[in-house]
Structure 1
Amino acid sequence: MQFTNLNRTAIKETFQSESLDLLVIGGGITGAGIALDAATRGLKVGVVEMQDFAAGTSSRSTKLVHGGLRYLKQFEIGVVAEVGKEREIVYENGPHVTTPEWMLLPFYKGGNFGAFTTSVGLKVYDFLAGVKKGERRKMLKPHEVSNLEPLIKSEGLKGGGYYVEYKTDDARLTLEVMKKAVEQGALALNYMKVTDLLYENKSVSGVICEDMTDGSVQEIKAKKIVNAAGPWVDELREVDGSKKGKTLQLTKGIHLVFDAQRFPLKQAVYFDSPDGRMIFAIPRDGKAYVGTTDTTYQGDIAQPKMTVDDRDYIIEAINHMFPEVNISTDDVESSWAGIRPLIHEEGKSPSEISRKDEIFQSDSGFISIAGGKLTGYRKMAENIVNLVTKQLSEEEDLSFPNSQTKHMPISGGDANGSKGFESFLQDRISYGVEHGLKESVARKLVYRYGTNVDEVFNNMKNANSDLDPVVYACLRYAIDQEQAYKPVDFFVRRTGALFFEIDWVLDHKESVIAFMRNEFNWTKEQTNTYQKELEELIYEATNPVE
């Protein structure tokens, strides 16, 4: 079934009529990964998400598929080894949405890192994470560090480490995994909120969902239910009456975005803030973004907000490490705030808490997964589906294959891995330029859509609306192939523009809203609500709360 809200009624009917083996609650990267793993092993699987796909943590991370170097400091050897190896798999299966990025780790007199400990740490990291030869760490002298990033503070500089991280678009990674799951037979629907659980003989047997687009309510039955709701995991455990033992601790991280003309960062840098917290500064598409904070969070889970203190903390850290830049609050172009759902550990500060994932199963059979890293999503999914298939095999004498996803390209990734993608990229950029696009725009589209980009190019040829042709092509694809329903879906998750091209959002928001209103036959009230939602997010991106 096509992955579009234009078929919303039909998808809802299929959820009701199909006999599901597995229902996943939560459409972030974890839920998407579980759906793909389950579908490719022959399970009939469905996903419901109360917001948009990736609307929570999965669009609000540091946007790195990273190997967990910082976890070496906490001696989490297993986490480093697993996510380091998974990073490579994520890259090869979706080279359009994940790209290697050399990261500079400077060290200073009196800082957290020294030449010896950095060298040893990075060497251990290379070994544990199985880093390939061309990406293994290098140790740099002070002048080499300054050559790579001239803006960096020179006072007290003793050298640096140089190693590879992987940059990603977290929301698009989630979408590409979900699209692949749907291609493999999964059902998935956004804006479907689970309001209650159903039971038969004291075992969980289904859910009651409210459709957030029209208020209608329906039951969905499944043999197994997995709670992959990220920051909301404990709320659903409470509904099940099984929130005991380990619980979540929510922490908040924020990132600020600057135009490259104001902050001309050449090189990704991982550095100490004045209080010892590690910060990333990363160049991306003519911008630089910097974060993250790590503070305990107890506010609205759906709408975490940047505070003045958050913003000032990052600005102080930037000016400490890049003293010549003199960044001020007026230079912040956009921002985002996100929640990390971590497993609570008594007596540990937010930045010390383990990023390891854990699976909980209640007496009713309700399965929950919490914690974990974006990088480890595929392995987390494999572990969950192993548990589900083991139970189904024992209960119904069925047999299922092992996980199929290790070497399976995600949607847009059918380019024969990273090597094949290099030639594909050049070929499709040339095609885009021949058809009137600027090279930078063509490049952005190929990276955004990967091997699906030809569908976007074809949309451009058929553009016949009031919209700019590129906007039309991307919006048409988002509606038809990526289940976008609201303006925020398009401007935040499908394009990332609210974070990295906020002027583009301001230029096109009215025409996009008008187009979507006609496509989905929104009422006047819906149109106003969705417009207001977008305006609020634009405001929050540039205005911290006290």
Structure 2
Amino acid sequence: MSKDKIEIDNRLKGTLGPADRVENWRRLGSDEFDVVVIGGGVVGAGAALDAATRGLRVALVEARDLAAGTSSRSSKLFHGGLRYLEQLEFSLVREALRERELMLTRLAPHLVKPVPFLYPLTHRIWERPYTAAGLFLYDTMGGARSVPGQKHLSRAGALRMVPALKRNAMIGGIRYYDAQADDARHTMTVARTAARYGAVITTSTQVTGFLREADRVAGVRVRDVESGDEVEVRAQAVINATGVWTDELQKLSGGRGRFRVRSSKGVHIVVPRDRIVAEAGMILRTEKSVLFVIPWGNHWIVGTTDTDWHLDLAHPAATKADIDYLLEHVNSVLATPLTHDDIEGVYAGLRPLLAGESEETSKLSREHAVARVAPGLVAIAGGKYTTYRVMAADAVDAIAPDITGRMASSITDRVPLLGADGYHALVNQADQLAAAHGLHPYRIRHLLDRFGSEIHDVLALGDDRPELLKPIPAAPNYLQAEVVYACSHEGALHLEDVLTRRTRISIEYAHRGVDCAEPVARLMAEVLGWDDARVAREVEVYAKRVEAERDSQTQPDDQAADAKRSAAPEARERIIEPVV
């Protein structure tokens, strides 16, 4: 097969392997782009996909890894936002439910799955009709289009659904449905889909400045934080989709933004599935907001907190107080309380919330905003994960005045993500696939829900090396082939990329990935060309990161936790703070 044929095949598959990275870096410095997107979170990846499928020449640059920030640390829900109904944000709920429906049925059925929740009722007379009215509105707005509508339960019925609850914790309940996804995997798949349609995607690529022609922004200057090389990337327009780093990037551009972004820290804990006996997740009211108990494979995710964060944006740290808050609230309804010893994983993320000019009058919101802050420069911030596609389309619409010629309309509501085509047929063929590769059908279904129809490329890695279809030591939920594929197709460049985002080993096992770091690094070395010294460094850096995170989670406040977490070395050691 010719080199040109291989390059075309790789582009059609949206591969982000080592050879693709070399070629993409070359193209950053040589090609002229219509738009450069800064930020590899779900909104940035979505903007790259939206622009590419409109026929624009697109580059996306990300300082760390795809989904390295907020987009790998959410509650992992595609949901309409039931609580926003109380805030009368009907348009936001309707929009989110439409996006959830698109993901479930057309765009990403392999990644986004329905999940039932129990809403326990605690007040007699008024609460059931009040909540039922809200859920009726939720269902009629689109919440029950492809999943069951609300179902009312007596106390006995609710206890049958969630036996883990205290009998006196409720007087009854209502079951409703939302949806969930592995946020990091979904974001990475959006980026790969953009690459499939021609977008140049480069991670470990930090913006160090802006290019200008007279009074307009004409591109960016970037540094490869792996090699230290620098290059200028020319484009007709730039989209700032950096989330909580929006203000920092705006300062770098030399202009004043149209809005400010405040960071709100959300902490989640992960516990084993057998610690909470239940057939559904739960949504619990707290004095501040709501608390979710979310089924997650063999685990439960419990979250979240909501507190201002003014420290390191790259590595928000969970404190003992955060964890105690979650345990206290979930234990208020559980018959068998959770303890610190039950916790397998902890993660903290930052929500980019829009804020007004005044601290006193600012109204924080989950609505998003788009601003053309200078000729050639558009910023987008706020919003919620579920509505990323709408946000991305709005951002690309906003660059229309900067683009030569007429720009096509957004079509991403009709563009399935990589792996979606053929997924349902493959689910029906899971038993045959399992037999052909000597795997249990459960394993095949698990892989299908991670890779969709791309499963063939993952399984093919075992044709010449059958050992790759064996589980990762100390992390048996994942196959060794998934590590190799993460490096050859999914853009993983460092050990933390694989253990934290391409898989979720860092939160799903009590050892947080340390016990399998060495064998995973050895598998990565084969694809990325690491020597023994590089393998040792990757393992050491990852172990120090886990140690720092554990230390931070014993601290009483944000300042102390941040000091502990910030002491760990960076995997991308050439990165310059603040990251923008």
Deviates more, 1:241-250 or 1:21-30: 241-250
Q: TM-score, normalized by length of structure 1? A: 0.92
Q: TM-score, normalized by length of structure 2? A: 0.87
Separation in 1 of the partners of 2:239 and 2:154? Answer: 50
Alignment equivalent of 2:112, drawn from 85, 98, 101: 98
Q: Deviations over 1:440-499 (max 9, x none)?
A: 322211111111011111112222679946643112211111111111111111112212
Contact 1:28 1:58 in 2 (8 A): yes
Identity of aligned residues (%): 32
Contact 1:234 1:248 in 2 (8 A): yes
2:122 equivalent to 1:108: yes
Deviation of 1:81 after TM superposition, in Å, equals 1.1
Q: Deviations over 1:276-332 (max 9, x none)?
A: 43111012211111000001001111111110000101111121021x222111111
The AA in structure 1 aligned to 2:483 is L
Contact 1:487 1:513 in 2 (8 A): yes
2:519 equivalent to 1:511: yes
2:316 matched residue in structure 1 = 304
1:418 matched residue in structure 2 = none
The AA in structure 1 aligned to 2:413 is K
The AA in structure 2 aligned to 1:108 is T
SS in 1 for 2:236: strand
Within 5 A, what are the aligned runs for 1:54-453? Answer: 54-92=67-105, 93-109=107-123, 114-129=127-142, 131-132=144-145, 134-155=147-168, 157-273=170-286, 275-322=287-334, 324-345=335-356, 353-392=364-403, 396=404, 398-415=405-422, 421-453=423-455
Q: For structure 2, list consecutive stretches of 5 or more residues without a partner in the other structure.
A: 1-10, 472-477, 556-580
2:475 matched residue in structure 1 = none
Separation in 2 of the partners of 1:133 and 1:334? Answer: 32
Q: Deviations over 1:8-31 (max 9, x none)?
A: 222111111111000000011001
Separation in 2 of the partners of 1:134 and 1:328? Answer: 34
Q: Deviations over 1:346-403 (max 9, x none)?
A: 67899x83100101222343111000111101111111222223542xxx3x223221
2:480 matched residue in structure 1 = 472
Contact 2:101 2:146 in 1 (8 A): no
Deviation of 1:234 after TM superposition, in Å, equals 0.7
Deviation of 1:6 after TM superposition, in Å, equals 3.5
The AA in structure 1 aligned to 2:162 is E
Contact 1:210 1:217 in 2 (8 A): yes
The AA in structure 1 aligned to 2:355 is H
Q: Deviations over 1:173-203 (max 9, x none)?
A: 1111111110100000110010111111121
1:487 matched residue in structure 2 = 495
SS in 1 for 2:141: helix
Separation in 1 of the partners of 2:330 and 2:548? Answer: 21
Separation in 2 of the partners of 1:507 and 1:531? Answer: 10
The AA in structure 1 aligned to 2:333 is M
Deviation of 1:7 after TM superposition, in Å, equals 3.3
Separation in 2 of the partners of 1:399 and 1:252? Answer: 41
Separation in 2 of the partners of 1:476 and 1:382? Answer: 33
Deviation of 1:241 after TM superposition, in Å, equals 2.7
SS in 2 for 1:218: strand
SS in 2 for 1:261: helix
SS in 2 for 1:300: coil
Separation in 2 of the partners of 1:221 and 1:523? Answer: 35
Within 5 A, what are the aligned runs for 1:535-546? Answer: 535-539=543-547, 542-543=550-551, 544-546=553-555
Deviation of 1:423 after TM superposition, in Å, equals 4.3
Q: Deviations over 1:41-94 (max 9, x none)?
A: 100000000010001000000000111111111111111111111111122211
Contact 1:5 1:484 in 2 (8 A): no
Q: Deviations over 1:200-257 (max 9, x none)?
A: 1121111111111122211111110000011111101111233345211100001111
Contact 1:389 1:400 in 2 (8 A): yes
Residues 86/175 of structure 1: CA separation in 2 closer, same or farther (3 Å cut): same
The AA in structure 2 aligned to 1:3 is L
The AA in structure 1 aligned to 2:331 is N
Contact 2:164 2:276 in 1 (8 A): no
Residues 540/311 of structure 1: CA separation in 2 closer, same or farther (3 Å cut): farther
Contact 1:108 1:114 in 2 (8 A): yes
Deviation of 1:164 after TM superposition, in Å, equals 1.0
SS in 2 for 1:135: coil
Contact 2:118 2:281 in 1 (8 A): yes
Within 5 A, what are the aligned runs for 1:14-33? Answer: 14-33=27-46
The AA in structure 1 aligned to 2:346 is S
SS in 2 for 1:362: strand
Residues 239/288 of structure 1: CA separation in 2 closer, same or farther (3 Å cut): same
Residues 315/540 of structure 1: CA separation in 2 closer, same or farther (3 Å cut): farther
SS in 1 for 2:392: helix
Contact 2:375 2:402 in 1 (8 A): no
Separation in 2 of the partners of 1:16 and 1:391? Answer: 21
Contact 1:109 1:156 in 2 (8 A): no
Residues 133/349 of structure 1: CA separation in 2 closer, same or farther (3 Å cut): farther
SS in 1 for 2:332: helix
2:542 equivalent to 1:534: yes
Aligned Cα RMSD in Å?
Answer: 2.4
Contact 1:432 1:457 in 2 (8 A): no
